[in-house]
Amino acid sequence: MECVDDEEYSPAARDHAQNPRNYGALEEYSGHARITGPCGDTMEFWLAVQDGRVKRASFVTDGCGPSLASGSMASCLVEGRSLEEAAGLEKKNVLDALGGLPGESEHCALLAASTLKAACGDFLRRQSRASEGQ
């Protein structure tokens, strides 16, 4: 696993890699997605949505320190936000919040944003199916 202790990483990126927030599956969730990126890292996100807002977001990854940092930061950025805002999270938002990542690790922020967006889409599909069943 890539070490994020060196000077290449911002204090925020090091902190989120070493102390990831919201790590682990949610037992009760409204949306879920799992994506394996081109680098081989897999990330999963779970969302608990209530009244159109992300009440809780959690993630797991089998990836490197930058993947941990990116998933952690993405989960923090969307909690309390509307589903629309959460679905609009982009790689740049994650990178900016982390204070950047080295170029070879920036794809981790894209994986986090893409997986989170897919979890939002899963929530919307579940809602649509539930309303069709009424």
Which residues participate in catalysis according to the annotation? 39, 108
Residue 124 CB partners (closer than 8 Å, separation 6+):
31, 83
Residues ≥6 apart with Cβ < 8 Å to 108: 37, 39, 41, 63, 64, 66, 67, 69, 70, 101
Q: What is the DSSP letter of 104?
A: G
Contacts of 82 (CB under 8 A, 6+ apart): 52, 53, 54
Residues 78, 57 contacting (CB under 8 angstroms): yes
